[in-house]
């Protein structure tokens, strides 16, 4: 055991995940990716139960073949990962290894290793939450205003992170920029506290400083930000009052208009993560949690235009036409 080995405990909505990090190179970036955790040196001897997730670094530098990529024993999802890791030819070896119940991956470069650790940890947390039967992770950004939560829903590239960060710059508390938690017991939306991840051209559009955060020495083009760095904070759980179907349209004026609930639900169900969207229970849970929400569509090309229109929903008393 060395001082570079950490045991991380992640606890969200009664879900507990244990990760072990045995990597001097990635110790600090790994522990900074998620915020709802407790870190401690690994005990000796090691706990009897195997960890849910391991990140290990082999001594001695580059592996055979020096491919700098990934080899998998079992395929895992990488959808939505801004730093995808590709399979290596059979027979290669790598300096880093990530292992969980989902599979085992070896790779040579630290960027791919940290990315795989990040993606796999998120998958384990979200799948475990779904297993409770009371939490539905939704692929969405979100903030909270005077009347409750506003959710920004859309596929990758729709602008969820950009618009969430723009609203955070206006002081609105943040639920998340990519995932929010629909809690069926309380009927409220809870934050999923990860660093907000912005990729170009979002930082430039928002006038933010150079990329920084957990992976600043690895991913030069990515900004990892906390709400506090944008003049905001993490939001407390709140009832959903507005759901906005988001669409980025270059060179088009910002346009916000109402949407019928039936059409909105057709777009929402595919964005539920690790959930069978066609089940009656899932539909009923979603309908109950969003029972008092109004549904909208927003197309935008500039964050400023999106903020001006969404502010009318978040805090009507502050906005005058």
- For 11-43, what is each residue's pLDDT tens digit? 666 677 888 888 888 888 887 777 666 665 555
- What's the CA gap between 223 and 202, in Å, rounded? 9
| Residue given tokens 């150079």 in the structure block | 210
- H/E element, 198: strand 196-198
For the record, the structure tokens of 308 come out as: 């001006």
* β-pair partners for 33: none
Please tell me the CATH code under which domain 134-318 is placed.
3.40.50
Residue 1 makes CB contacts below 8 A (sequence gap 6+) with 41, 42, 44
Q: Sign of the CA dihedral 308, 310, 315, 320?
A: positive
**CA-based end-to-end distance of the chain:** 64
- What's the CA gap between 30 and 118, in Å, rounded? 8
For the record, the structure tokens of 141 come out as: 């950004």
- What's the CA gap between 279 and 264, in Å, rounded? 17
Domain segments of the chain as ranges:
5-131, 134-318
| Residue given tokens 């801004």 in the structure block | 82
For the record, the structure tokens of 191 come out as: 């934050």
Rg (CA), the chain: 20
Q: How many CA atoms lie within 13 A of 66 on its CB side?
A: 3
Output the CA–CA distances (angstroms, integers) from residue 147 to 47, 90, 174, 293, in the order listed: 47, 55, 14, 11
- What's the CA gap between 69 and 292, in Å, rounded? 47
Q: Sign of the CA dihedral 278, 284, 289, 290?
A: positive
- What's the CA gap between 302 and 306, in Å, rounded? 7
Output the CA–CA distances (angstroms, integers) from residue 97 to 56, 69, 118, 175, in the order listed: 5, 11, 13, 32
- What's the CA gap between 173 and 234, in Å, rounded? 5
In contact, 164 and 257? CB cutoff 8 Å: no
For the record, the structure tokens of 100 come out as: 């969980």
Q: What is the pLDDT of residue 42?
A: 54
Q: What is the pLDDT along the chain (321 residues), one digit of tens a residue?
A: 344 466 777 666 667 788 888 888 888 888 777 766 666 555 544 555 778 899 999 875 443 333 344 444 333 333 344 444 443 333 346 899 999 988 899 999 888 898 899 889 888 888 888 887 788 899 999 999 998 999 999 988 899 999 999 999 999 999 999 999 998 888 899 998 888 888 888 888 898 876 666 666 666 778 888 899 899 999 999 999 999 999 988 888 889 999 998 889 888 888 888 776 556 667 788 888 898 999 999 999 899 999 999 999 998 776 544
Q: What is the pLDDT of residues 60-106, one digit of tens each?
A: 544 333 334 444 433 333 334 444 444 333 334 689 999 998 889 99
- What's the CA gap between 21 and 27, in Å, rounded? 6
Share above pLDDT 90 across residues of the chain, in percent, rounded to a whole number: 34
DSSP state of 153: E
């Amino acid at each position: 055991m060395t001082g570079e080995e950490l045991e991380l405990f992640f606890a969200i909505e009664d879900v507990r995940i244990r990760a072990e990090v045995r990597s001097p190179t990635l110790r600090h970036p790994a522990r900074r990716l998620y915020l709802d955790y407790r870190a401690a040196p690994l005990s000796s001897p090691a706990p009897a139960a195997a960890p849910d997730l391991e990140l290990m670094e082999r001594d001695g530098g580059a592996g055979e073949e020096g491919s700098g990529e990934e080899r998998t024993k079992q395929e895992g999802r990488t959808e939505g990962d801004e730093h995808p890791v590709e399979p290596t030819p059979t027979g290669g070896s790598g300096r880093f290894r990530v292992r969980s119940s989902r599979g085992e991956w070896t790779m040579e470069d630290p960027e791919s290793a940290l990315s795989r650790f990040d993606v796999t940890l998120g998958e384990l947390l979200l799948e475990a939450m779904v297993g409770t039967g009371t939490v539905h992770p939704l692929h969405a950004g979100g903030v909270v205003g005077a009347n409750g939560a506003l959710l920004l829903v859309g596929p990758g590239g729709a602008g969820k992170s950009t618009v969430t960060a723009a609203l955070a710059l206006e002081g609105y508390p943040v639920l998340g920029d990519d995932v929010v938690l629909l809690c069926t017991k309380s009927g409220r939306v809870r934050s999923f506290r990860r660093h907000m991840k912005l990729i170009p051209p979002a930082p430039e559009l928002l006038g933010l400083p150079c990329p920084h955060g957990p992976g600043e020495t690895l991913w030069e083009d990515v900004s990892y930000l906390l709400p506090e760095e944008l003049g905001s904070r993490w939001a407390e759980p709140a009832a959903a009052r507005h759901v906005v179907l988001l669409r980025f349209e270059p060179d088009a004026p910002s346009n916000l208009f109402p949407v019928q609930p039936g059409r909105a639900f057709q777009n929402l169900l595919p964005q539920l993560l690790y959930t069978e969207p066609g089940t009656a229970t899932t539909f009923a849970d979603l309908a109950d949690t969003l029972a008092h929400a109004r549904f909208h569509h927003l197309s935008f090309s500039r964050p400023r235009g999106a903020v001006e229109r969404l502010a009318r929903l978040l805090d009507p008393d502050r906005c005058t036409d």
